[in-house]
Amino acid sequence: MGDTRLVQLEIEDGIGTIRLSRPPVNALNIQIQEELREAAAAATTDPSVRAVILYGGDKVFAAGVDIKEMAGMGYSEMAARATALTGAFDAVARIPKPVVAAVNGYALGGGCELALTADWRVAAEDATLGQPEITLGVIPGAGGTQRLARLIGPARAKDLIMTGRFVKAPEALTIGLVDKVVPAAEVYATAKAMVEPFVHGPALALRAAKLAVDNGLDMDLASGLAWESQLFAALFSTDDKNEGMTAFIEKRKPNFA
């Protein structure tokens, strides 16, 4: 790993911004992948972080993994590396707090896969997203075939993955790949506005809601309902539940810690 960190966790007013900084296009080399894992762990465990923004800066989110770094790898090398790559992105996806990706410029290949780990995506009007790995003779290898299909459906996911075509922001919004499209200069501010309401929200209930939805998607309905019931009942042991219900009865706004 290099001497200079390429991923920073910047915390302000309860929001942790995981910021990529590898000019010019934030190519996701092994160092960035491992630092993403570390930043995700820090955001998960730091109680001062109540919500998270994934951000590549005002020029580009991330234009993919570092192809030059991978080009010389054979099966044995990538078989050893692929699990670590997936694990780094999965660490971001499993942050038990609200997460929004703020996408300027390009989110391609691994960059699109990183955006898919968030709960929501805000894109600039001139942003471009896609999974062009097929044009390199491979497929997405950091969750793209799985998270994309779950998000926009298998037919649309196959279209993007098997053609490798780029998707402009308006189409990305139409197919559900992104949730908001705003002027480029407003992307970060919009992402911040989306998660600010969660900063003073019930942290354990928000965590449970994310776990219920994300883990439930991998279960059959009966198992998902049982999982939901377990999480629901567990919240009755929390101070947030006591405060929320007491505030309701007393006709006042709750003051969650």
- The two three-digit tokens of residue 196, written as one number: 């600010």
Amino acid identity, residue 9? L
Whether the CB-CB separation of 105 and 61 falls below 8 Å is answered with yes
Tell me the per-residue pLDDT of 18-64, one tens digit each, with 9 for 90 and over: 999 999 999 999 999 999 999 999 999 999 999 999 999 999 999 98
On average, the pLDDT of the chain sits at: 95
| Cis bond upstream, residue 24 (ω within 30) | yes
Tell me the per-residue pLDDT of 133-157, one tens digit each, with 9 for 90 and over: 999 999 999 999 999 999 999 999 9
* Confidence bin at 98 (pLDDT 50/70/90): very high
Q: Which domains does the chain have, with CATH numbers?
A: 7-199 (3.90.226.10), 203-249 (1.10.12.10)
In this predicted structure, the answer to whether residue 107 has a pLDDT above a threshold of 50 is yes
Q: Can you tell me the distance from the alpha carbon of 211 to that of 141, in angstroms, rounded to the nearest whole number?
A: 23
* Confidence bin at 80 (pLDDT 50/70/90): confident
Whether the CB-CB separation of 147 and 161 falls below 8 Å is answered with no
- 55 φ/ψ angles, rounded to the nearest 5 degrees: -150, 135
pTM for this one? Answer: 0.94
Q: Can you tell me the distance from the alpha carbon of 224 to that of 231, in angstroms, rounded to the nearest whole number?
A: 11
DSSP string computed for 122-158:
EEETT-EEE-GGGGGTS---SSHHHHHHHHH-HHHHH
- The two three-digit tokens of residue 160, written as one number: 């993007």
Q: Can you tell me the distance from the alpha carbon of 222 to that of 227, in angstroms, rounded to the nearest whole number?
A: 9
Determine the pLDDT at residue 1.
45
Whether the CB-CB separation of 177 and 139 falls below 8 Å is answered with no
In this predicted structure, the answer to whether residue 3 has a pLDDT above a threshold of 90 is no
Q: Can you tell me whether residue 257 is helix, strand or coil?
A: coil
* Confidence bin at 84 (pLDDT 50/70/90): confident
